[in-house]
Structure 1
Amino acid sequence: MTPTLEWFKSSYSSNEGPECVEVAVSQAHASVHVRDSKDTSGPQLALTPKAWAAFLSGFCE
């Protein structure tokens, strides 16, 4: 049985703009999932924790 992901809105997202990103962490699969909060049944990205950290480093410099 696959555990349900618990999604949360990114702190970089706003309710007024087009940037609406949600993130969920899967401990079971050691992955970070990303999706568009306006299209929750749409495509998702699944990244390794290392790839996620590299992605975030581009925003947090």
Structure 2
Amino acid sequence: MSKPYPNAAATGFDWFKSSYSSGDQSCVEVAKIPGLVPVRDSKNPQGPALALAPYVWSAFVDFAKNDA
């Protein structure tokens, strides 16, 4: 389940990068809002974002940890 946000910067969310980010901006950013996990490309903060259901985000993180 996801919801598109055409302009991620216009959401007013507080965006966060992982502390594991290498600093080269090749990562995603997430925001904390109840019931959703908004995700955007750190290289394009003015671009689109997706808001994922928490279980979808958890599955993605588990996949990235285990299969990367």
TM-score scaled by length of structure 2: 0.68
Q: Percent identity?
A: 50
Is there any run of 5+ residues in structure 2 with no aligned partner, and where?
A: 1-10
Runs of 4+ in 1 over 4 A off after TM superposition: none
Aligned pair count reads 56
1:4 matches 2:12: yes
TM-score scaled by length of structure 1: 0.74
Using CA pairs below 8 Å that are at least 6 residues apart, which structure has the higher relative contact order?
Answer: 2
Structure showing the higher helix proportion among its residues:
2
Is there any run of 5+ residues in structure 1 with no aligned partner, and where?
A: none
Two-structure CA RMSD over aligned residues (Å): 1.8
